[in-house]
Chain A
Amino acid sequence: MTDTGGVHRLERVRGQMHDRAREMLGVGPGVVTGGLVGEMRVSGSRWYPLLALGGLVLVDRAQSFAVFVLGPEIAGGTGVTQTQLATLVALKTLAIAVAALPFAALVDGRPRRALIAITCGVVWAIATGGTGLATTFWILLFFFVLDGISTGAVVAVHQSLLSDSYPPTLRMRVISAYEAISSAGNVLSPVIVGMAVAWWGLSWRGVFLIMGAVALATAVYAMKLRDPGFGVLDHQRIREAIRADVGPNRAAPDVPLRFLEASRRILLIPTARRLLAAYAVIGMAFVPMTTYLFFFLDFRWGLDVGGRSVVYAIMALAQVAALLGIARPFQSRFTRSPRAAIRLASWLLAGSMAAIALMVLAPALWLVVVLLCIGFGLLAAVTPAASVIGMTIVEPQLRPILAALAGIAYAAIGGLGGVLLLSGLDTRLGPAGAIAAIAVPGLLCAVVLRSAESTIDPDFDRLVDAVVEREEIEVLVESGTSLPLLSCRGIRFGYGPIEVLRGVDFTVQEGEIVALLGSNGAGKSTLLGVISGLNLPSAGTVRLVGGDITYIDAERRSRMGIVQVPGGKAMFGGLTVREHLEAYAWSIGANRREVSKAIDLAYDAFPTLATARDSMATLLSGGQQQMLAMTTALIRRPRVLAIDELSLGLAPMVVAQLLDFLRQMNADGTAIVLVEQSTNVALSVAHRACFLDKGEMRFDGPARELQGRSDLLRAVFLGVGSPFESRPASPAVTDGANRKEHPSP
């Protein structure tokens, strides 16, 4: 931050804390992992959250699988066709995908995941029992969708809740165990159905009623679940470590992300995007391929319902074994380096796809079963790895949203998209062709996942730095260090593959006018967009008085006091001057009296606008249009006003008027960031100047000093190459009075 001591302290603490914070997130040479049971005992963790959530997902999975097993009986009893039954299953899958995000929104920043998990457990019981009472397609539809919606909660809250209930060193194995319990539902389901039919003589209705009762008992068992809060065993400990080292805590200044902002923020994380691609392929394999596998085993190998159920149960057992067996190698690799875990996950994904594709060519049934066990076992093992890696690279509050997005990738993109893809292939190539063809997207996805090797460390470090920086800023505030009004740190932004901003640092103090200069294409307007929220950076933070606003919507930032006047015609052509002013005044929630007052204020600032009040904005002169743009900013009473090209194409007299206006706004307390092609104009009004060159900040110091730098100014005036290109690298210069020169790398 601009207080040099504060900045140095922040950098020092960040450096000191970095490795320690990584270890607190379960990564590093100092992290020791043991067996699941021993680690549970050592860490003092309870088995209850795993058993309660595992029990809930077990009965849900068993119920879902029972629909496959008892499908013909359900169709025969209720009069629905096989197509309608398939539609019901597809709609349930869709409901899972659609419901995951609203459930994530329900727990967004509010620790009530346990309550939702329990409630949905009770709803499953109702849906399962209700299915046994259904007599028509529409009643079945109601219960299937109800079941799907409540299963959306599993997707959104279960793994996030488990993550916060166990320390990072246990997470991979706990989530693997949870997934193993879930897979065990596929084994138990045919067993329960078989027992209920053979021993108790129950029909499919009786089976569903029994399963509903079991589900209700499980929900009752889970009643003691409690939400421990977000990040209590990782991020909270990092914060406590910083406080213990440096000083007491203070209320966080961060602005909480809203749900859609948080979702968008997750999608900006490169590793998260790659993991979501992996989830889509896993969904494609598990959701529609299960159906095609049924047909394949039926037509190619003549297996009836009983035979197919046995194969599925064996596959589920293989998944349980794989999940339990591979959890420890995954955990140890992850502890050593997340890159190693990514590498292993991508190999497993590729291996599973190859095994499934080869399976269709197998000459003997036993080989088919072996390859299916390998394929689906490896595929199942990827899921907890992807889950833990994902949970590690996002803030704890965002974990339910990431899980929901993963659920959508799994169910909607993979599941429903896979149905469309495979049904077309099935018609042309038959079930074997459809199953083999899935290896193509599967192997591509393994390559994409492998590419996350290069993104995981930067993403992980970014998170660690963000936690440390956030906590340290609180400590700086507590110690009385003044924070800049606006600060950008390490901003990176690109348009597709072209990186425009490369780690830019930029600050604005209260009451300051900062000129942002540079040649064409240097990244000035892009940086303004990052400040105002029109551009979201791929790395770095934007803070308003210490509060992180990096991923806050532009519209919210405007209400927080960051207003941008874009270059060119910043107006709506179809509105008159007065309508413009009214629209902006109403947009800040002003009442009629305040609107009138704001308009008078604008007319006082530029009387020429008063005379043209009923003119269409497009009919105004260039100077009048810029005046109108300035007054719309004035109405919004900004704390930071970012102006892109104030003087472009305007007469000197008009420019002088506009500069006077800016000085007055600044005197009234508005800090101003001015992007200008004309250095004379910019430096005549600015207190400080910054010079951007090819996306990097080259100069940051008093405006009068820049006037003496003809090499830099030539670049702006003449558009010549970077003045830094021909200069030898020299150490950065800091005079302690807020002047920095950044050398070429």
Chain B
Amino acid sequence: MDRRRCVEVMIAACVALSATGCGATGLDFRSDNRLSIISPADRAEVAVPFLLQWRLRDPGDQDSAFAVLVDVSPPRAGASIIELLPPSQQDVATCDRTCQSQALLARGVTVTSADSLEVTVLPRRSGLSADRARRHTITIIVLDDQDRRVGEVAAAIDVDEVFR
């Protein structure tokens, strides 16, 4: 294959790739900073229980609830929060809404329509140094009425747990 042909193939691959990307929905190419955490501050030292507060500016039509995730990565845009559960708990036939809510709580995910939450427990982590074991990441995302993530808007802070 000569150089010209090689470049043509690469450009074609580039275009094809871009086309597949266009099929995805909810990709934010601009920063969405509407959601922010008011307290505690990033990298603050906290002891349970503590109050977590946040604010959403200019809520959209779809925005109806929040998910607070402790040491859990959020689902991708458009995906349901239920996808964070094991497959056996995602089917309402085997695990109803109450069961799913409890399972989410146990996993460190709380769904709420309020703009604050009292965090009463932080997970214990093993296999890490002491400093890193007490570091927790709290992420808040916006959900629609079907518990699906709205766009890629998110706010996250790290907190260091202190024990009294």
User: Which residues of A come within 8 Å of B, CB atoms?
Assistant: 72, 75-82, 84, 115, 118-119, 122-123, 125-126, 129-130, 132-133, 135-136, 197, 201-203, 205-206, 209, 216, 223, 295, 299, 302, 304, 426-431
Contact = CB atoms under 8 A, between A and B. Distances in A.
Contact of B31 (A79, A201, A429, A430): A201
B28 A426 contact: no
A119 B28 CA distance: 30
Contacts of A81: 72-73
Top 6 A-B pairs, shortest CB-CB distance: A133-B21, A79-B76, A206-B29, A122-B10, A81-B73, A299-B131
16 contacts: A77-B152, A78-B76, A79-B74, A79-B76, A122-B11, A126-B17, A130-B17, A133-B18, A135-B77, A197-B31, A201-B30, A203-B30, A203-B32, A302-B43, A427-B127, A427-B128
Contact of A76 (B7, B74, B130): B74
Contact of B27 (A130, A136, A197, A205): A205
A136 B76 CA distance: 7
Contacts of B13: 126
A123 B6 CA distance: 11
Contacts of A430: 129-131
B79 interface: yes
B124 interface: no
Contacts of B29: 132, 202-203, 205-206, 209
B18 A129 contact: yes
Contacts of A202: 29-31
A79 B24 CA distance: 14
B53 to A, nearest CB: 20
Given A81-B73, A209-B29, A304 B21 contact: no
B70 interface: no
B28 A205 contact: yes
Nearest to A208: B29
B73 A82 contact: yes
Interface of B: 3, 6-7, 10-11, 13-14, 17-18, 20-21, 24, 27-32, 42-43, 72-77, 79, 127-132, 135, 137, 139, 141, 152, 154, 156
Contact of A77 (B76, B135, B137): B76
Given A76-B73, A78-B76, A133-B18, A118 B28 contact: no
A129 B156 contact: no
Contact of A426 (B7, B14, B129): B129
A123 B14 CA distance: 9
Contacts of A431: 129, 131
B32 A133 contact: no
A201 B7 CA distance: 32
A133 B73 contact: no
Nearest to A80: B73
A299 B132 CA distance: 8
A203 B31 contact: yes
B156 A76 contact: yes
Contacts of B32: 203
Contacts of A304: 42-43
A294 to B, nearest CB: 11
A119 B10 contact: yes
Given A76-B156, A135-B24, A118 B3 contact: yes
Nearest to B7: A122
A88 to B, nearest CB: 13
B67 to A, nearest CB: 12
A347 to B, nearest CB: 33
A81 B125 CA distance: 15
Contacts of A76: 73-74, 139, 141, 152, 154, 156
Nearest to B128: A427
B17 to A, nearest CB: 5
A79 B76 CA distance: 5
Contact of B21 (A123, A130, A201, A216): A130
Nearest to A426: B129
Contacts of A203: 28-32, 152
B77 A77 contact: yes
A126 B17 CA distance: 8
A130 B77 CA distance: 17
Interface centre among B17, B73, B79, B132 (most CB of A within 10 A): B73
A304 to B, nearest CB: 6
B78 to A, nearest CB: 9
Given A79-B74, A119-B10, A126-B10, A133 B129 contact: no
Contacts of B21: 130, 133
Nearest to B141: A76
B73 to A, nearest CB: 4
A539 to B, nearest CB: 42
Which of B30, B31, B135 has the most A CB atoms < 10 Å from its CB? B31
A79 B27 contact: no
Contacts of B75: 79
Contacts of B31: 197, 201-203, 206
B89 to A, nearest CB: 17
A81 B137 CA distance: 11
A304 B137 CA distance: 13
Contacts of B79: 79
A79 B148 CA distance: 13
Contacts of A115: 3, 6
Nearest to A303: B43
Contacts of B141: 76
A135 B27 contact: yes
A419 to B, nearest CB: 14
A84 B72 CA distance: 12
A123 B27 contact: no
B3 A72 contact: no
B138 to A, nearest CB: 12
Given A76-B156, A209-B29, A430-B129, A133 B24 contact: yes
A304 B157 CA distance: 11
A75 B76 CA distance: 9
Given A76-B152, A136-B76, A427 B30 contact: no
A25 B72 CA distance: 58
A119 B128 CA distance: 42
A144 to B, nearest CB: 15
A428 B130 CA distance: 9
A126 B21 CA distance: 12
A221 to B, nearest CB: 13
A516 B42 CA distance: 80
Interface centre among A81, A132, A299 (most CB of B within 10 A): A299
Nearest to A206: B29
Nearest to A205: B29
Nearest to B29: A206
A194 B29 CA distance: 15
B156 A72 contact: yes
A123 B9 CA distance: 11
Contacts of B6: 115, 119
A123 B77 contact: no
Tell me which of A130, A304, A429 has the highest count of chain B C-beta atoms within 10 A of its own C-beta.
Answer: A130
A429 B13 CA distance: 47
A223 B11 CA distance: 14
Nearest to B4: A223
A434 B47 CA distance: 29
A77 to B, nearest CB: 5
A547 B87 CA distance: 66
B28 to A, nearest CB: 5
B7 to A, nearest CB: 7
A87 B137 CA distance: 19
Contacts of A135: 24, 27, 76-77
A115 B10 CA distance: 13
Contacts of A428: 129
